[in-house]
Amino acid sequence: MARPNSSSLADVIDTILDKGLVIDAFARVSLVGIELVTIDARVVVASVDTYLRFAEAVNRLEISTSEPKGITDIVGDVTEGAAKHKTKGALDAAGQKVADFLGDVQEKRQTVHRPSKREER
């Protein structure tokens, strides 16, 4: 039975640097649409070339400038749009009520009979 070839520590390190070992994590904690904590951690044991290939492949070279919209942004946009729609509807309804009220008051003023000075004598 043949023994497997043992590797020296230098061979293991060379393999890790060549292939790369990357632990990449991004976590966001939100409560009711309010972002509480954002953690962006990246632990890399690799050569610079290996890391740059990895970062380019997963689009992680520029995290903060080109970050796509998260779920909280999408939900916020939807909520904002719905709130604007509801507010506009409420204001339209209130405006209509005021117009109706003023129209009724105007009609009552015109229909009220005011006695003339001749009738008062």
Predicted confidence at residue 73, as pLDDT, reads 61
Tell me the Ramachandran region of residue 77: left when phi exceeds 0, alpha when psi lies from -120 to 50, beta otherwise: alpha
The chain-wide mean pLDDT, for the chain, equals 73
Predicted confidence band at 12 (pLDDT cuts at 50, 70, 90)? confident
Predicted confidence at residue 4, as pLDDT, reads 60
Domain boundaries, the chain: 7-68, 69-114
Predicted confidence band at 70 (pLDDT cuts at 50, 70, 90)? low
Q: Where are the beta strands (DSSP E) in 1-121?
A: 21-31, 34-45
Predicted confidence (pLDDT) per residue in 96-114, tens digit: 888 888 877 677 766 655 6
Predicted confidence at residue 15, as pLDDT, reads 82
